[in-house]
Amino acid sequence: MPLAYSLPTDLSPATVVNASSLLRIVALALISGAAIASRLFAVINFESVIHEFDPWFNYRATRVLASEGFYEFWNWFDPTAWYPLGRVVGGTIYPGLMATSGVIYSILHGLNLPVDIRNICVMLAPGFSALTAWSTYMFTKEMKDESAGLLAAAFIGIVPGYISRSVAGSYDNEAIAIFLLMFTFFLWIKALKTGSAFFGTLAALFYFYMVAAWGGYAFITNMIPLHAFTLILMGRFSSRLYVAYSSWYAIGTLASMQVPFVGFQPVRTSEHMAALGVFGLLQIIAFAELVRAHVSSKQFQRLLYASVIGMGILGGLAIVGLTYKGWIAPWTGRFYSLWDTGYAKKYIPIIASVSEHQPTAWPSFFMDLQLLIFVFPAGVILCFRELRDEHVFVIIYAVVASYFAGVMVRLMLTLTPCVCVCAAVAFSSVLDTYINPVEPDAVEEEAETAGDGAVSASSTAVSTSSGSATKKGKKAAPAAQPGPLGGLVSTVSAVVSTKKGEKSRGIFGGDTRLAVLLNALGMLLFFVLHCTYVTSSAYSSPSVVLASTNPDGSQHIIDDFREAYYWLRQNTPETAVVMSWWDYGYQIAGMADRPTLVDNNTWNNTHIATVGKAMSSSEEVAYPILRKHDVDYVLVIFGGLLGYSGDDINKFLWMVRIAQGVWPDEIQEPNYFTAKGEYKVDDGASNTMKNSLMYKMSYYRFAELFGGNQAVDRVRGQQMPKIGPTLDYLDEAFTSENWIVRIYQVKKEDPLGRDLRTANAFEQGKRRKRSKPVARRRAIV
């Protein structure tokens, strides 16, 4: 059998193995470096700053942890959040992230490296992405071999779908959770393969870490039982499965209940019942198997099977019954909305209002995963081809995660690792096939039998027909050595071991190899370009600091948020309560250090609706609400001047909807639309809209800015009326450079006991017009 290109023949097998393992380590190190480096765009373009919203809370909590110690943190009651209710922080968070940075902080300080806690928080996500790459490598190694593992590690290192949640500064639970997810899955697969309780216990420990770190742990809680259940259905029950699953479940469940925020949920909510059910089923089956081993009677065995099925059904009914009786909580809204996709919009608008919870259109998939998204089905097929127990896992993962990612943009994150693994399997199969230098016998030459040919080929390939090398090659086949040369060894020997006696298969000629390999290489290069582009342009914005491009191409930094928050910090008393929409609660608490009414931990819908009501009703109605909640300042985000589309007027309808959910008599969404059902802010806006506090605060004195010209709202592209709204109960306190943040001070009650509108009118020297209704008065003014 001929070779397409010649190989060095004077290498000893030990050299090949050593070189390949060295190359592997170097490659992994480089991949880690690339993974970290590509996440640093945000730091380079802006600065080392915490991003977005939730990270600000995590950062604040970590600071408490680092300065006050773990016990203080654990019992931390935060009186400034959810004013006046306060928030028990220790019991309402997943502490894994803060604990991780806290540990790193104390280790570094123990080594006399005085690193600022902020820098640890900023760099945590990139650091863990390197670990994710490594755990993906380990996981994929179990699926195929080391070369596929390296590809998978490279993919996950730079794929935008994961970078989107783990750039430097994005200090959120997902930053460490994806590593934990992949590593738990790897340990599970390892436990299943070896049947060792050691790996089961490790899987349970990492599961515990995951539970402590991210609410998405429920994905593991359901994936592993689903895998086990599928294996049982496929008739692949084995003692290894029993050992792996039982040790994982028994320890993992008990461990997960140590996290205060999770509490007794693992035994009391439907999300966790699948795991319990499969656990019970496995015990029954294991017992039945044990009995079966001792009895040979056919009839008895049949009875045994019947009783197993009966017990399974009984157990299922018991769970259903307990759910019915209320002992087990039914699926929570968040989970339920994954199945019944209309559910969230109807019943939990607060979930539906978050942009991360919207369904995913295909461009998002392509943007986040690029070529992986279409190579991944090929990888799934290859998994079907082998279909060992661990391949079943990847297949289930692929189906489940692609459904979830379709329903919610946010869950793209769980799909990404699976896509990377499958795509790596497919890609490395292509590379294996086309790098392999062995050419099969053409159909014309039938003299030589294929089997002999293959053996002789392997001996030529590995070394100069030394018998030990061939043996080595054969031995390597199951364990599969990676790296350029190792991959060669493995593929060559794979040809030997799998295709003996069958038709030989392979590729003829060098040009064909070159064509396919060049094509693949080109695709990979394009992938790298794409990832770099997407990361730098789309995912590296801190959203606290904005950037725009000047006409000459240089970057202009828009720092309105921090400007405004520092204004609050410097110019207001420490107890001044700031009201804003919940999106900005964490930032205000983190950067301005002032009490807030509501924040991104949306645990109290009524409180949020109260803020929504205040924002969406008229000044007269809102004022008592503001006073009752001791609000001193009201903060709104307004993008009309700059064209910043994430502003409060665009979120306004959600405020209305959420308020309407609690006060359907007083707030009604249709009133905020024009008669034709359009959402307008210009002259044609409805009166309710024009009188709402939010509208007034956003457009107060906006028209003056244009000095008599037509004022234009750049976000909505609408022309504003010449005469803007007036405010009687609030005073403008601060407006940032680009008008993005506007802060209003709530006036105290009039000392003379007048209502503030009359007092204002009096001061402006106008006569009171008491008898006229509000709407008409506006028309005159």
The count of chain residues that interact with other proteins, using the rule CB under 8 A, is 114
From 173, 41, 34, select the one nearest 539 (Cα to Cα): 41
Give least dist CB 390 to other proteins, A.
15
Binding residue for other proteins, selected from 37, 303, 317, 723, defined by CB under 8 A: 303
DSSP states of 174-198 as a string? HHHHHHHHHHHHHHHHHHHHHT-HH
Give least dist CB 760 to other proteins, A.
26
Binding residue for other proteins, selected from 34, 220, 275, 405, defined by CB under 8 A: 405
273 and 319 Cβ atoms separated by less than 8 Å: yes
Q: Does 526 bind other proteins (CB under 8 A)?
A: yes
Q: Does 398 bind other proteins (CB under 8 A)?
A: yes
* Rounded Cα gap, residues 729 and 628, in angstroms: 14
Phi first, then psi: give them for residue 81, nearest 5 degrees. Answer: -90, 155
* Rounded Cα gap, residues 149 and 140, in angstroms: 5
Q: Does 257 bind other proteins (CB under 8 A)?
A: yes
According to DSSP, the residues that pair with 730 across neighbouring strands are: 746
Per-residue tokens: 775: 């709407």
Give least dist CB 284 to other proteins, A.
9
Binding residue for other proteins, selected from 7, 108, 205, 354, defined by CB under 8 A: 205
From 330, 350, 347, 331, select the one nearest 339 (Cα to Cα): 331
According to DSSP, the residues that pair with 3 across neighbouring strands are: 438
Site for other proteins in 105-164 (CB under 8 A): none
Give least dist CB 268 to other proteins, A.
9
From 541, 525, 577, 532, select the one nearest 47 (Cα to Cα): 541
Q: Which stretch binds other proteins (CB under 8 A): 149-157, 180-188, 523-531, 599-607?
A: 523-531
Give least dist CB 297 to other proteins, A.
4
Q: How many CB atoms sit inside 10 A of residue 555's CB?
A: 10
Q: Which stretch binds other proteins (CB under 8 A): 22-30, 117-125, 177-185, 199-207?
A: 199-207
- Our CB check for other proteins shows the closer of 371 and 558 to be 371
- Our CB check for other proteins shows the closer of 180 and 382 to be 382
Q: Which helix (H) or strand (E) holds 248?
A: helix 239-256
Per-residue tokens: 671: 């009133």
Q: Does 505 bind other proteins (CB under 8 A)?
A: yes
Per-residue tokens: 508: 């003829």
687 and 775 Cβ atoms separated by less than 8 Å: yes
* Rounded Cα gap, residues 343 and 334, in angstroms: 9
Per-residue tokens: 487: 């991959």
From 584, 542, 455, select the one nearest 597 (Cα to Cα): 584
Binding residue for other proteins, selected from 77, 384, 566, 706, defined by CB under 8 A: 384
Site for other proteins in 634-693 (CB under 8 A): 657, 660, 664-666, 668-670, 675-677
Q: Does 354 bind other proteins (CB under 8 A)?
A: no
Give least dist CB 507 to other proteins, A.
6
Please classify residue 498 by burial: count the beta carbons closer than 10 Å to its beta carbon, then call 0-12 exposed, 13-18 middle and 19+ buried.
exposed
* Rounded Cα gap, residues 438 and 441, in angstroms: 10
Binding mask 69-108 for other proteins (x = CB under 8 A): ----------------------------------------
Q: Does 342 bind other proteins (CB under 8 A)?
A: yes
Site for other proteins in 208-227 (CB under 8 A): none
Binding residue for other proteins, selected from 482, 506, 585, 724, defined by CB under 8 A: 506
- Our CB check for other proteins shows the closer of 437 and 725 to be 437
Site for other proteins in 407-426 (CB under 8 A): 407, 426
Q: Which stretch binds other proteins (CB under 8 A): 357-365, 548-556, 699-707, 769-777?
A: 357-365
Q: Which helix (H) or strand (E) holds 534?
A: helix 510-537
Binding mask 225-244 for other proteins (x = CB under 8 A): -------------xxx-xx-
* Rounded Cα gap, residues 409 and 260, in angstroms: 28
Site for other proteins in 426-445 (CB under 8 A): 426-427, 429-430, 433-434, 440-443
Q: Does 377 bind other proteins (CB under 8 A)?
A: yes
Site for other proteins in 159-198 (CB under 8 A): 194-198
634 and 730 Cβ atoms separated by less than 8 Å: yes
Binding residue for other proteins, selected from 26, 115, 295, 774, defined by CB under 8 A: 295
